[in-house]
Structure 1
Amino acid sequence: MDDIFSGHQLDIPFASVPVLLARYRDRDPDRLAIVDLDQDSAITFGALADLTDRIAAKLVALGVGKGDKVLLLSDECLEKLLIWLGTWRIGAVACPLNIELNNEYIGDFAALLKPKAVLYQNGLDYAAIAGDGPTIRFGAWKKDGAGDPADDFFRSLPARVDPATLPDGYGPTDMAGIFCTSGTTDRPKAVVYDHAAYWLSGLSTLDMLGLTEDDRTLEYRSFGWNSAQVLSLMPFLQRGTTLHIAKRFSHSRFFEWIQKYGITFSAGVPTVLNMLLNKPLGYTADDIPTLRLMTCSTAPLSAEQWVKFETMYGIKLLQLYGMSEAGWICGNRHYKAKLGTVGLPAKHQEFVIVDGEGKECPVGVEGEVTIGGPQTALGTLREDGTIEPVRGLRIKTGDLAVRDAEGFITVTGRTKDLIIRGGMNIAPVEIDNILMASDLVLEGAALGVPDPIYGEEVVCVVVPKTPDVTGDQIAAYLRARLPLPKVPKKIYLAESLPKSDRGKVLRDRLRDALPELTEAAVVSLKAS
């Protein structure tokens, strides 16, 4: 087993779904396992192992076997995770495509994957998506046994199953999942994971967060994205936490969820944190005593935002950093964190910052982040269905970063976003962080635009916190905090910034939108 994991020591020995669910059934049969907040439905660990076996038997009856792909097209719901667990129960491959992808992409991916079965949620129009086997609609699972008229899957499950009649399951080197990257600027890639990558990513999460079986976690992001899989699904399997899920974040219901269900940990992204900071609903730490920890990933979080959030809500906040092909790259720990950084390299990530010649950068020197090791993806799918390898290679992430003397990593930007002004490299994230620290600004982003003299010039787009904020006020704020070459030459005002559904600012779209925006201020670079 050590050879499979390339010498990485596992805090929790590898185990498969049938072993894990049987363990939690015997340990805590009456404890809630998964809670669907939107449907107000739930399942206990005592019922989950049996139901997973019944779903697995149904999939076998449909012709699905070990290594076959099951395409899951669904919003976030209890049934999606039940089918996922049943798929893994027999060693098949879960392919949870995000339904917010372009329909053309979903059709193309289905043709590429050639799934043995396609299961789609009632109310979604995917009956025409074809695989090598049946396409089946599913509705709500009814724990009282009542059939859902809109369901063609759960109501036809066998009444009982002898676990000994099911396939043995899987090992760490078996293919586990295929999912898509966010595709913020290009066509999404299909990323392939084996169970070893998932297991190590989950262990890295547990090292960062310190979750135990007593935790009640909240995830409101799509399980079609890797981040939700390794932050929430894997710790649920590895520790037997209680997992609460929602279709999406709700500003009005978030704190109600925390109070009602005693949530102890919640996922977070910058958009959510900014919403809670800038549009508070009057909740304080006294109102949500169970919630001790939240994370922030997807985009860098400034030290000022971090402090504001912890002060306002009394919740420990941890900045994490990852990517689809790598799982977690870095993360602050519940026992060791540093403001303004993405933390230490993840426990099971083989992390190196390199210079332009591929040599490791010393402390304090900026370079590009590279990743490797058994936590990384097997690879990405080519058009012919073969795998473009990632595992076994040293992969450049496109992210720029610097390591300090204590080992903490600060992400300074993207290589493609780097602004080169008169030979000076300017990371837009530095300017972003200063903008976000201002009480004048709801959100803001810097970017480079062509300039006949300097090659590129810095501009920024800002969403003011209140309508009376002027470009001149923002310009004065920036001049007082940035060296002159980094001060944006132009400031534009906007009602919002274009983002991916994971909260990343889409700078290419922002650049294209500049001619339509209001130019609020022109900053003289000769100003003191």
Structure 2
Amino acid sequence: MSNERPWLAEYPAGVPAEIDVNEFPSVVSVLEKAIDTYRDRPAFANLGKVLTYGDIDRLSRQFAAYLVGELGLKKGDRVAIMMPNCLQYPVAIFGTLRAGLTVVNVNPMYTARELKHQLVDSGASVLVVLDNFGHTVQEVVAETSVKQVITTGLGDMLGFPKGSIVNFVLRHVKKMVPDYDIAGATRFRDALVIGQLKTLPAVQIGSDDIAFLQYTGGTTGISKGAMLSHRNLVANMQQASAWINANIRLGEEIIITALPLYHIFALTANCLAFMKFGGLNYMITNPKDMHGFVKELKKVPFTAITGVNTLFNGLLNTPGFDQVDFSKLHLTLGGGMAVQRAVADRWKQVTKVPLIEAYGLTETSPAACINPLDLKDYNGAIGLPIPSTDACLKDEDGRTLATGEVGELCIKGPQVMKGYWQRPEETAKVIDGEGWLHTGDMAKMDERGYFYIVDRKKDMILVSGFNVYPNEVEDVIAMMPGVLEVAAVGVPDEKSGEAVKVVIVRKDPSLTVEQVKAHARENLTGYKHPKYVEFRTDLPKTNVGKILRRELRDPSRAA
């Protein structure tokens, strides 16, 4: 078997070839063991307030009891969560899971159109939302299956007087909370009080039950819910923890959680894996405020940090970052988009810790490949397949390719999703008869078993680690009466890795760049906005009329 898996010989000492997927039957059992072992240790910190594992136990139990006892939710019902990183997030996630329900993570920056699609598609019956985004919910909630909206302010769990001050400043000074009115909405704090008076019945949670419906564009424009079971997430947690175990000090780790918990990377790598170690997730609510972020980093002796290339690059270019104390830092994990050599080299120079690149997908919960943690320098690879994971490269006809050949990267392992929610035909497109997940990424493997991404088969654009699907951007721009044809492509961008560019053939010659951008702002989340708009008389096409996006991406041919 080993010659089929050359990467096993490259594993760092102590990393097993296989993990025990059956050690924990569910994410809840991992949580409960962590609560028993680390009850008085800090679990989550945000805006100066800390919740211990004991606090998470009590509050998540109250939230679970509210969902089941007061709202009458039944096993398998979906609860949508629409918040940035704040203390309410882990309480809502773990409460939902303990009640035997499924979490639907929602990007709070979604426009009304995007939010409506996800709520309708998932059939969520409850939505937890931060006040700042209540106005978006108000626009569409009546057209969804949501029966109860639970609202909360950023300061609601910070205690008095701090919480009241934070809420006041956000609403009245910074004007960051637009007015909204949602009939029958309940406050998060009130839900917890009601939950205190209810009993939480024992719920049987099976490893095959769906823990998260994690939405992703997949290979086509429409956002689909990847069904991630308890087994998928427990497996990935076990795989990631086996990989990083050597340096971990139980009950002493502090991981900086700057990526949002609604993103699968932070959800599994930070929130879940470090819970198993009794670690503290130090949550950053607004990592875009780099000066504020660096100020936070100076306050805490952190041991680990995860992020995307743009985040690391932003920190390195923020004054004061080089004065942060990195003496306890032993793990920096980069994923979500390619880590650039210049950023990795500079990170190591400033922090004395290598920036380790990992690779994964929403569909793999997410980790599939990680570089060894004892890597001395940046190697340009996405790493080695992690324990209990197989990887291979296939050509268009499904034949497995030899070492050094470029083909589509395919992954098999216990972390691969059950499929897309209520979309069997979409699932069949990505998971073949032998159980291989086709990633849509073109890669090659060297003789030692390291994988390298060469190009993307799909035309997806990767902006700061977030997937942007050209179809969706094109559909939105095409809604404009002045547009005849449109193509969206990714172009290299120093700050975000890639930026969205739209090339338009006008129907109305008076259509302006500003009008296009204004229309995009109304209908698309920020990272999907076109940074560049170009007008042309025609678009390059195949003989069947399919737009050739690659010609628009290649400047030499575009000229």
Alignment TM-score, normalising by the size of structure 1: 0.72
- In structure 1, what is the Cα distance between the partners aligned to 2:116 and 2:448? 48
One-letter amino acid of the counterpart of residue 45, structure 1: Y
1:406 has 2:448 as partner: yes
Check the 8 A contact 2:370/2:386 in 1, yes or no: yes
- Structure 2 equivalent of residue 325 of structure 1: 363
Check the 8 A contact 1:63/1:116 in 2, yes or no: no
Q: Per the alignment, do residues 282 and 208 of structure 1 end up closer, same or farther by CA in structure 2, a change over 3 Å counting? A: same
Check the 8 A contact 2:304/2:332 in 1, yes or no: yes
1:190 has 2:210 as partner: no
- Structure 2 equivalent of residue 495 of structure 1: none
- In structure 1, what is the Cα distance between the partners aligned to 2:298 and 2:421? 43
Check the 8 A contact 1:201/1:230 in 2, yes or no: yes
Mean CA deviation greater in 104-113 or 296-305: 296-305
Deviation (angstroms), 1:387: 8.2
Greater RCO (CA < 8 Å, at least 6 residues apart): 2
One-letter amino acid of the counterpart of residue 295, structure 1: L
Q: Per the alignment, do residues 275 and 224 of structure 1 end up closer, same or farther by CA in structure 2, a change over 3 Å counting? A: same
- In structure 1, what is the Cα distance between the partners aligned to 2:259 and 2:103? 17
1:136 has 2:150 as partner: yes
1:354 has 2:394 as partner: yes
Q: Deviation string for 1:90-118 (max 9, x for gaps)?
A: 11001111122232121122122222322
1:54 has 2:62 as partner: yes
Partner SS for 2:299 = helix
- In structure 2, what is the Cα distance between the partners aligned to 1:375 and 1:34? 25
Deviation (angstroms), 1:122: 2.2
- In structure 2, what is the Cα distance between the partners aligned to 1:280 and 1:165? 47
Structure 2 unaligned spans of 5+: 1-16, 168-184, 463-489, 496-519, 537-554
Deviation (angstroms), 1:73: 1.8
Deviation (angstroms), 1:16: 4.0
One-letter amino acid of the counterpart of residue 60, structure 1: V
Q: Per the alignment, do residues 502 and 23 of structure 1 end up closer, same or farther by CA in structure 2, a change over 3 Å counting? A: farther
Check the 8 A contact 1:221/1:248 in 2, yes or no: no
Q: Deviation string for 1:18-77 (max 9, x for gaps)?
A: 54444334433331111113xx32211122212221111111121112211111122221
1:267 has 2:299 as partner: no
Partner SS for 1:342 = coil
The equivalences for 1:35-184 within 5 A come to: 35-37=45-47, 40-61=48-69, 62-123=71-132, 124-125=134-135, 126-127=137-138, 128-129=140-141, 130-131=144-145, 133-139=147-153, 140-142=155-157, 152-158=187-193, 165-181=200-216
- In structure 1, what is the Cα distance between the partners aligned to 2:338 and 2:345? 14
Mean CA deviation greater in 266-275 or 24-33: 24-33
- In structure 1, what is the Cα distance between the partners aligned to 2:493 and 2:63? 50
Deviation (angstroms), 1:161: 5.5
Structure 1 unaligned spans of 5+: 1-6, 419-427, 430-458, 465-497, 516-521
Q: Deviation string for 1:162-181 (max 9, x for gaps)?
A: 99842234121111111212
Q: Per the alignment, do residues 19 and 205 of structure 1 end up closer, same or farther by CA in structure 2, a change over 3 Å counting? A: closer
Check the 8 A contact 1:90/1:169 in 2, yes or no: no
Partner SS for 1:310 = helix
Check the 8 A contact 2:122/2:225 in 1, yes or no: no
- Structure 2 equivalent of residue 215 of structure 1: 253
One-letter amino acid of the counterpart of residue 233, structure 1: C
State the identity as a percent.
21
Q: Deviation string for 1:157-206 (max 9, x for gaps)?
A: 34786998422341211111112126798232222111111111222222
Check the 8 A contact 1:208/1:332 in 2, yes or no: no
- In structure 1, what is the Cα distance between the partners aligned to 2:444 and 2:394? 10
1:343 has 2:383 as partner: yes
- In structure 1, what is the Cα distance between the partners aligned to 2:210 and 2:348? 40
- In structure 2, what is the Cα distance between the partners aligned to 1:168 and 1:358? 42
Q: Per the alignment, do residues 349 and 248 of structure 1 end up closer, same or farther by CA in structure 2, a change over 3 Å counting? A: farther
- Structure 1 equivalent of residue 178 of structure 2: none
Deviation (angstroms), 1:251: 1.9
- In structure 2, what is the Cα distance between the partners aligned to 1:131 and 1:89? 22
Deviation (angstroms), 1:307: 2.0
Q: Per the alignment, do residues 460 and 373 of structure 1 end up closer, same or farther by CA in structure 2, a change over 3 Å counting? A: closer
Alignment TM-score, normalising by the size of structure 2: 0.68
* Alignment: residue pair count: 435
- Structure 2 equivalent of residue 433 of structure 1: none
Q: In structure 1, which of residues 195, 198, 203 is the aligned counterpart of residue 238 of structure 2?
A: 203
- In structure 2, what is the Cα distance between the partners aligned to 1:166 and 1:335? 46
Check the 8 A contact 2:255/2:280 in 1, yes or no: yes
Check the 8 A contact 1:266/1:293 in 2, yes or no: yes
Q: Which has the higher helix share?
A: 2
Q: Per the alignment, do residues 9 and 21 of structure 1 end up closer, same or farther by CA in structure 2, a change over 3 Å counting? A: closer
The equivalences for 1:493-512 within 5 A come to: none
- In structure 2, what is the Cα distance between the partners aligned to 1:313 and 1:190? 38
One-letter amino acid of the counterpart of residue 113, structure 1: S
Check the 8 A contact 1:296/1:318 in 2, yes or no: yes
Q: Per the alignment, do residues 59 and 386 of structure 1 end up closer, same or farther by CA in structure 2, a change over 3 Å counting? A: farther
Check the 8 A contact 2:110/2:525 in 1, yes or no: no
Q: Per the alignment, do residues 322 and 26 of structure 1 end up closer, same or farther by CA in structure 2, a change over 3 Å counting? A: closer
Deviation (angstroms), 1:261: 1.8
Q: Per the alignment, do residues 160 and 181 of structure 1 end up closer, same or farther by CA in structure 2, a change over 3 Å counting? A: closer
Deviation (angstroms), 1:83: 0.9
Check the 8 A contact 1:88/1:169 in 2, yes or no: no
Deviation (angstroms), 1:138: 2.9
- In structure 2, what is the Cα distance between the partners aligned to 1:55 and 1:417? 41
One-letter amino acid of the counterpart of residue 255, structure 1: V
Deviation (angstroms), 1:371: 1.7
- Structure 2 equivalent of residue 379 of structure 1: 419
